[in-house]
Structure 1
Amino acid sequence: MVQNIPKGFFPDSGFVSRETSGKLVVYADLVRKWQARINLISPKTLPDVWERHVLDSLQLFRLRPEPLNWLDMGSGAGFPGLVTAICLAEKGHGWVNLVESNNKKAAFLRQVILETGARASVHPIRVEDARTKLGKIDAVSARALASLSDLLSYAAPYAQDNPSIEMWLHKGLDYLGEVRSARDLWCFDLVEHQSLAQDGSAILQISNLSQHT
């Protein structure tokens, strides 16, 4: 069992407390236990769940630690939204709305919240149907869900409600191609944060989203 964040993974190692680090360990252990019953993550990544999933997701809180009201789209096993929610617990403010239409995965997310005290709620509905239930959203996250163009389409209604909304989207090695394709349909400001977990990957910070007319 990993007891804390590996030293040197982040330049500012220790940016979360020992208590939060321990809760993330609990989360990783729950992923391993539930994986035997439901397909939460790719089986080939299970031995590396800490680095491939937890620490990769933790980068988002490092970049945006403020206590915002988040929408995590297509949460699946909870990466990155549930990691953010666990980190927010020590702040006592902020919230993460985990939208996951698969009832079995939604049950897993609720169990992690119960055992870690994460500041999150689970919404077992489709992202397209969640808008009227969540209120004002400050920021949107997603990881391994869909193409960038599709993610922006899902997020666009929330941007209409809150023009200052930010999107924080984990993307892999081909993210530049996805950005080019998305710009054919959408106008947006982009900041690329290179991943500390995988060379060539990035977290895309997107704001001022609008559709081409």
Structure 2
Amino acid sequence: MAMTRQFKPVRRDADVDLDAALADDRARALAIVPVSREIAERLDRFVALLRKWQPAQNLVAASTLPTLWTRHIADSLQLADSLPGDSVVDLGSGAGFPGLVLAVALAERPGARVHLVESNQRKAAFLREAARVTGAPATVHAARIEAVLAAIPTPVAAVTARALAPLADLVALSYPLLKSGAVGLFLKGQDVERELTETSKSWTLEVVTTPSHTDPGGRIVRVNRAEPRAPSSSSGS
């Protein structure tokens, strides 16, 4: 009788090195933003899926993979304590930051729902699979932001975004939700003061900024209220 030999996949040194780096980074991230064991296990499944899809989809910059937990997951998780409720809309969700991570953080809260808005069809497919394997209460909308916001029922507690657009554009995009009572929670970098100045030219804002727990130069921008400024009028001679 012929015997079939089974071969185990060969693990490259680079894979082993990445495993070790991610294990260390995971410990650092969960020290910064502690979560329950159950939520940590859901995040482990998310990371495993992202690594599986990464070669074909390029979901995150390859250079950030060794610090995936601190650079992306903890950075997203830090918004969870600022959420004023369990209904969230995440704009430009990409690979799930911060929206899918926040949905995982809310997974044990009855009635929680995070709407992930991502027009890229391949990334939207990844987000659907990530929601499935993690059990996150997330709904993926594979369409443009303007079309989605017109259909999402209000009230919504918070609208979030990370690395999507300048603050002025984020306020304009999310205004349909902000005027209905949602709070804006936007992760911004070291140019936040310049962005706030630019945004104030077109909007009257009630804003609080707090330091990021993961980026020394970053800020969490909380927009409690936003109203468009009336166009300035100039008289001719």
Rg larger in structure: 2
Partner of 1:204: 221
Give the Å deviation of 1:147: 0.4
Q: Residue 152 of structure 1: which of 171, 180, 200 is its match?
A: 171
Partner of 1:106: 124
Residues 7 and 212 of structure 1: CA distance in aligned 2, closer, same or farther (over 3 Å): closer
Partner of 2:148: 130
| 1:170 and 2:181 are equivalent in the alignment | no
Task: Report the AA paired with residue 67 of structure 2.
Answer: D
Residues 7 and 120 of structure 1: CA distance in aligned 2, closer, same or farther (over 3 Å): closer
Q: Which sections of structure 1, spanning at least 5 residues, go unmatched?
A: none
Residues 185 and 55 of structure 1: CA distance in aligned 2, closer, same or farther (over 3 Å): same
| 1:116 and 2:116 are equivalent in the alignment | no
Distance 1:9 1:149 in 2: 33
Distance 1:143 1:5 in 2: 23
Q: TM-score, normalised by structure 1?
A: 0.91
Give the Å deviation of 1:44: 1.5
Q: CA RMSD in A?
A: 1.7
- Of the structure 1 ranges 172-181 and 100-109, higher mean CA displacement relative to structure 2 is found in 172-181
| 1:190 and 2:207 are equivalent in the alignment | yes
Q: How does 1:13-24 map to 2 (within 5 A)?
A: 14=34, 16-24=35-43
Q: TM-score, normalised by structure 2?
A: 0.82
Identity %: 38
Partner of 1:55: 74
The alignment of Structure 1 onto Structure 2 pairs a total of residues equal to 207
Give the Å deviation of 1:29: 2.0
* Contact 1:140 1:166 (8 Å CA) reproduced: yes
Could you give the per-residue CA deviations for residues 143-176 of structure 1, whole angstroms, max 9, x where no partner exists?
000000110110112223x1x2100000011111
Distance 2:175 2:70 in 1: 31
Q: Please give the secondary structure, in 2, of the residue aligned with 1:37.
A: helix
Q: Please give the secondary structure, in 2, of the residue aligned with 1:111.
A: helix
- Of the structure 1 ranges 71-80 and 29-38, higher mean CA displacement relative to structure 2 is found in 29-38
